[in-house]
Structure 1
């Protein structure tokens, strides 16, 4: 599996293009906005976009979904249904943050812990990791030892829990019980900022490291 990180919107959210080298099929994870930039990246890679995957329903991650569906008719998978209210409020959030293209939608498939999603010959495992939002999910590609963690974990930090429905205890439990068992060697793409590894975060992260 190959990937390309595409920072989008004024929030500089890490939208990620994933693709299967064997088939050329691709999925986009968290298209928060700037759809033209995302589609330009798809064209540069010469791949066929077949699916939208969402880690959670906040506007910087899901705000461009409705527009992308309207343009290409792609199916949407994720997040977990605990984020339904966030998705229903996307148009309102868009007006608040000046992202006029944001609109609500209904995912074609709500995801649950233990589910799998696929495109081409690629299969991603789904882990329900609440705390930042109730319905937040993480996507994990075991062969590549790569996780897409949205706003659960960052290099040197963790997702914020001061927004509505945030839960610090749940977030810390999600990281320790769902992410750490995947292995220290796993590298992850966060929702914002640079990549890191679970091993580095266990060593150095002041919020959730082994010595926190």
Structure 2
């Protein structure tokens, strides 16, 4: 599986294209905005979008989902249904952060822990990692040892828990007990900022290391 990261919007949120190298089938992960830039990159890379995958329901991760789903006639999948309240509050989130208004929507498929999603011939495991939001999920590709972690973990930091229904203890438990056991070699793409590995964060991240 291959990938390319495209930071979008003023929040520099990492929208990621994940694709199967054999079929060129792709998933658009967390398209927070700027759908035309995302579409241009899909075209440049000669990818065939198959689905949109969402790690959680915050505006900067979902803002262009409906536009791209309509454009390519593809489904929106994820996150866990515990984030449903965030999708209902999208107009309020837009006003709060100064984004152009978008309507409320629901994913075509909510995702549960233990389920998987297909991208071409490849398969991503779904891991429920609450804390930043109650329904936050992580997508993990075992063959590439690659995880898309959204706003759970960052290089040298962790996700915020001061938003509605955030929970600091849950977040720490999610990182230590659901992500780190996947292995030190696993690379991860965070929702913002540069990539890292679980091993590096386990050893040196002041919030969850040690």
Report the Cα offset of residue 91 of structure 1: 2.3
Q: Provide closer, same or farther for how the CA distance between residues 184 and 208 of structure 1 changes in structure 2, counting only shifts above 3 A.
A: same
Structure 1 runs, 4 residues or longer, greater than 3 Å off = none
Aligned-partner Cα distance in 1 for 2:193–2:203: 19
Gapped runs of 5+ residues in structure 1? none
What's 1:122 paired with? 122
Gapped runs of 5+ residues in structure 2? none
Report the Cα offset of residue 102 of structure 1: 2.8
Query: 1:62-96 CA deviation, whole Å, 9 max, x = no partner?
Result: 11112222322210110000000101111221233
What's 1:184 paired with? 184
Query: 1:143-198 CA deviation, whole Å, 9 max, x = no partner?
Result: 00000000000000000001110000000000011001100000000000000000
Report the Cα offset of residue 103 of structure 1: 2.7
| 3-state SS of paired residue (2:143) | helix
What's 1:161 paired with? 161
What's 2:34 paired with? 34
| 3-state SS of paired residue (1:144) | coil
Query: 1:110-158 CA deviation, whole Å, 9 max, x = no partner?
Result: 1111110012101000000000000000000000000000000000000
| Structure-to-structure mapping, 1:3-152, within 5 angstroms | 3-152=3-152
Contact in 2 for aligned 1:188/1:196 (Cα 8 Å): yes
Contact in 2 for aligned 1:11/1:60 (Cα 8 Å): yes
Aligned-partner Cα distance in 1 for 2:49–2:2: 13
Normalised by the size of structure 2, how large is the TM-score?
0.97
Aligned-partner Cα distance in 2 for 1:91–1:125: 31
RMSD: 0.9
Aligned-partner Cα distance in 2 for 1:68–1:119: 17
| 3-state SS of paired residue (2:189) | strand
What's 2:196 paired with? 196
Normalised by the size of structure 1, how large is the TM-score?
0.97
Report the Cα offset of residue 101 of structure 1: 4.9
